[in-house]
Amino acid sequence: MEFPLSALERAMKVKEVVFRAISGEYTWLQAAEILGMSPRTLRRWRCRMERHGYAGLIDMRRGAPSPRRTPVAEIQRIVGLYRDTYRGYNARHFYQTVKREHGVTLSYSHVRQLLQGAGLMKKGRARGRHRTRRPRRPRFGEMLHLDGSRHVWLALVPEAKQTLIQVVDDATSRLLYAQLWPGETTRAVMTAMRDVVLEHGIPESFYTDRAGWAFDTPKAGGKVSATNLTQVGETLARLGVEHIPSYSPQARGRSERMNRTLQDRIVNELRVVAKATTVAAANRYLRECYLPTHNEEFAKPPADPDSAFVRLGDVDVNEVFFEEAVRKVGKDNTVGVDAVMLQLAKQPARRTCAGLSVQVRRHLDGGYSVRRGTQLFGRFDAEGQPRPSAPLAPTRQNAAGTTLATAVDSRVVPAISTYRPSGGTSSARVPAYGRLRLPTAGTASSPSASKA
């Protein structure tokens, strides 16, 4: 019977120590301590050597296969599945997939060791120094991590890279949003925030890095500006959401680990399962198939069952999520933005809009709206064609019977004063649209004039 080399080396060591104990160089207690066994066990080994010689020091069980060994056919099946179908999956992802789809009953450690032994998977590197992980926030929605990861997500189209925008909840590790975009742009980030708000509500805070769309950093590597807000910062301020900056990759470890997990899993699933070659097909698979499966595997219950999300209520999200820029109206009553010319219609009670400074908003659907304060000058589609304006709720300024004709969007909080003196008649009134109205000749405009 052939024995493993390790069994022979062990027998040689036992023989040498026993001979030294017999010669008196070691005591039997010292010999037992060197071999890592009790004195009683060492005496049994000595009796076996005296009865059977050197062969008595070899453990006879080492040459026989274990009765609990895995069948060779099952090993070949598992290795074949990884080599032919799931190559590139990490050990945990592969184990969860074959356990769910192919009925594998072996343990995770056993499957990982089989793949490492077959040379199909590298052993993980040793961990670094000990670190303490930040405790999770207790409530669902108390803090959301938002990050982008640029990678070759479509393995069937390796020459193109995309950016995955993902939003993960800190308390539960639930993946709330995951979609591919051409880049980590303001529009992509706002779309992710809008979808999360529409589905779950308004969170307490967002935790992001200090990218250009997130914060203005006056000095490289320094603190972010608390007053000079970006477009995303202004959007979160409108929602009343705290925006927390991260100053190192280690500080946002939860989102960085999520990016690594998604790179290991999504790339392979889009290649093997979805066979996606376009961003649209990949996003549809992520939304309909991957997110439910991922959250089933990784989501954890929050420490506090109460949710921190707040209902959005009856709010037009188009008036919350937008990019805004100030433009000057041309002499032909046009405004240029993104190489698109927006032709303003004739505004009531205004001869022309030429020369006015207006706010042009680019909405997430690609359309535009032009405003000046609370006044809405027009809505346009992505090509610059006018859109019909939504009907406005009646207000005191535009109620029936008034002479005020300028449209004021009642869905926007007015930035003008509506104070009116309770008694007497003022000599010059400033109506809501801000034009000074002087009294006409021959009209009593003051007590002194009426006496005259």
Name residues whose C-beta falls within 8 Å of residue 377's C-beta, 6 or more positions apart in sequence.
Answer: 344, 345, 347, 353, 358, 370, 371
**pLDDT for 114-131, tens place per residue?**
898 888 888 877 666 666
pLDDT > 90? residue 146: yes
Of 36 and 421, more confident: 36
Name residues whose C-beta falls within 8 Å of residue 33's C-beta, 6 or more positions apart in sequence.
Answer: none
pLDDT value for 446: 41
pLDDT value for 219: 87
Of 249 and 361, more confident: 361
For 232, the 3-state DSSP assignment is helix
Q: Which CATH architecture has domain 144-298?
A: 2-Layer Sandwich (3.30)
pLDDT value for 294: 94
Element housing 268 (H / E) = helix 253-272
**pLDDT for 210-267, tens place per residue?**
988 999 998 888 899 988 999 999 999 999 999 999 888 777 778 888 999 999 999 9
Which residue's entry shows tokens 């010292």?
30
Question: What average pLDDT score do residues 372-396 get?
Answer: 79
Name residues whose C-beta falls within 8 Å of residue 306's C-beta, 6 or more positions apart in sequence.
Answer: 139
pLDDT value for 181: 96
Which residue's entry shows tokens 């000057």?
328
Q: In this structure, are residues 181 and 153 in contact, taking their beta carbons and an 8 Å threshold?
A: no
For 147, list phi and psi in degrees, rounded to 5: -155, 160
Instruction: Report residue 353 as tokens.
Output: 């809009």
Confidence band of 444 (pLDDT split at 50, 70, 90): very low
How far is Cα 404 from Cα 394, in angstroms, rounded to an integer?
A: 13
pLDDT value for 451: 40
pLDDT value for 13: 84
- Highest mean pLDDT among 60-74, 98-112, 116-130, 250-264 belongs to 98-112
CA distances from 26 to 10, 15, 54, 228 (A): 18, 13, 20, 80
